Amino acid sequence: MTKIEFLVSVNNKTWEISELVKSIEFSDKLNDGCSKLEFSYVDDNLKLENGSGVMFRYDSKNIFSGIVFKHGHNKKGEITVTAYDQLRYAKAKDNVVVQKDTATTLTKRMCNYLGIPSGTLTDTAYVLATTVQEDKTWLDIIYSAISDTLLYREKWFCLRDEFGKVTLRDINDLKLDLVLGDKSLCYDFDYEKSIDEEFYNRIKIYVKGKDDATVGTTIVKDSEASIKNYGLLQYFEIMENKNASQAKSKAAVLLGLYNQETETLSLDCLGDTRVRAGTSFYGTIEDIKMENKRLKVVSVTHKYIPIHTMSLEVSL
Amino acid sequence: MINEIKSIVQNYLNNAKLTEFLTGSVVLDGIKISEKLTIPNELIVGNLKSTAIIGDNVRLLRNHGGQTYYILEVIN
């Protein structure tokens, strides 16, 4: 238990409650809302309030710094608390004009406007198309900027809170030198391979288009080998305000992304504090003939009591 | 259950940005439709775009999806 440092601040007073905490669970998802710390403790004298600050360190590593949003009590005197990180505030809706912006400048604008502290904001270097985002949450606006960047620059970024500061990181910078698998730290796994979801081997784009000659053209891009194997699975999209060559390059990128069997793998392992959503590690599992394959964490839940374990979902 | 469905449909419609009439006034870098929101010139189309002058009040038609705005008329 000595590895746990748990601080809460209530009404400008800070308390160290690592001895009182009964359970700690930290969950984090890749570009899907804020991270969450749920914990429970026993003590009737310390009354946490919504808005109180929570700071959690494990083994001298910064894990979580956030704000209490929910707390509940029961007859046994056990208090359960849910705290979120700074990105919780990014659920605010607004009207935003995206003009000469990148995902990075949008994140900066959000942090300034909402008064959220920011840390490292990696330059995504892709200037987004001009759009008007009406009545949308800041999170959705930035996530769609991140997907556009992925689509047109083939680089993926991750928006997250790191110990109280919002950061934007290139997924490639989050590679860990960590091996997880049936011979290393992992005690259970669940694997599935599917073409049921998000699998397409023909991409068809109808260009509704600007007022030029390409209006009404249809772009088709497919993989014959894949159609022979799996049957024809078609993706269809109507693209507005774009021309045929833009549609062609989009079709090629989409075919590359979608013409792959989706594999899902979840792992239960002994904990490693470095593992957060967006990081990647080497997976080695004999049963499914996987050897030192880079796996990216899509979501992770760490439990710290009685010992540190984690359950991860990864994408392959 | 019914209330949940209603709120889901409402959210969807808000997000889908249906076609809608708007009024705004022409400013230097676009058409201002509210204190906070100025539609950039890039997204504005229609014959009147070249003749409308700063200060004109115009009626706009927002296309489905909300990414183009057509100037219908100048109103005074």
pLDDT tens per residue, range A260-301: 988 889 999 999 999 999 999 999 998 888 888 999 999 999
Domain end call among A84, A119, A152: A84
The pTM of the full predicted model, rounded to 2 decimals, is 0.83
pLDDT tens per residue, range B22-75: 999 999 989 999 888 899 999 999 898 888 899 999 999 998 777 889 999 998
Most B CBs within 10 A among A97, A100, A139, A242, hence the mutation to make, goes to A97
Q: Are A104 and A168 in contact (CB under 8 A)?
A: yes
Measured in angstroms, the CA of B24 and the nearest CA of chain A are apart by 15
Number of domains in chain A: 4
Is the Cβ of B38 closer than 8 Å to some Cβ of chain A? Answer: yes
Clarify whether residues A37 and A137 are in a common domain. no
Clarify whether residues A188 and A278 are in a common domain. yes
- Residue A287: which CATH number? 2.40.30.150
Q: Is A176 exposed, middle or buried (0-12, 13-18, 19+ CB in 10 A)?
A: middle
pLDDT of residue A6: 95
Clarify whether residues A157 and A250 are in a common domain. no
- Residue A38: which CATH number? 2.30.300.10
- The answer on pLDDT for A182 being more than 80 is yes
Of A219-223, A228-232, B15-19, the range with the highest mean pLDDT is: A228-232
pLDDT tens per residue, range A28-74: 999 999 999 999 998 768 888 999 999 999 999 999 999 999 999 88
Clarify whether residues A137 and A44 are in a common domain. no
Clarify whether residues A70 and A42 are in a common domain. yes
- Residue A141: which CATH number? 3.55.50
Mean pLDDT, chain A, as a whole number?
91
pLDDT category at B18 given cuts 50, 70, 90 is confident
Clarify whether residues A159 and A38 are in a common domain. no
Closest-CA residue of chain A to B42: A130
Measured in angstroms, the CA of B39 and the nearest CA of chain A are apart by 7
Measured in angstroms, the CA of A41 and the nearest CA of chain B are apart by 34
Instruction: Provide the residue range defining the domain that includes A164.
Output: 89-172
pLDDT category at A214 given cuts 50, 70, 90 is low
CA–CA dist A216, A243 (Å, integer): 10
- The answer on pLDDT for A251 being more than 80 is yes
Clarify whether residues A188 and A286 are in a common domain. yes
Backbone angles phi, psi at A284, to 5 degrees: -135, 110
The answer to whether residue A310 sits within a structural domain is: yes
Clarify whether residues A238 and A306 are in a common domain. no
Measured in angstroms, the CA of A258 and the nearest CA of chain B are apart by 25
A233-265 in b/e form (b: 16+ CB < 10 A) is bebeeebebbbbebbbebbebbbeebbeeebeb
Residues of chain A found within 8 Å of residue B40, distances taken between Cβ atoms: 97, 99, 130, 132
What is the arithmetic mean of pLDDT over A217-235?
Answer: 91
pLDDT of residue A264: 86
Residues B42, A99: C-beta atoms closer than 8 Å: yes
Is the Cβ of A130 closer than 8 Å to some Cβ of chain B? Answer: yes
Nearest Cα residue to A82 out of A100, A99, A64:
A64
- The answer on pLDDT for A1 being more than 60 is no
pLDDT category at A26 given cuts 50, 70, 90 is very high
The answer to whether residue A177 sits within a structural domain is: no
Nearest by CB to residue B40, choosing from A130, A136, A241, is A130
Question: Mapping DSSP to helix (H, G, I), strand (E, B) and coil, where does residue A211 land?
Answer: coil
Q: Are A164 and A178 in contact (CB under 8 A)?
A: no
pLDDT category at A312 given cuts 50, 70, 90 is very high
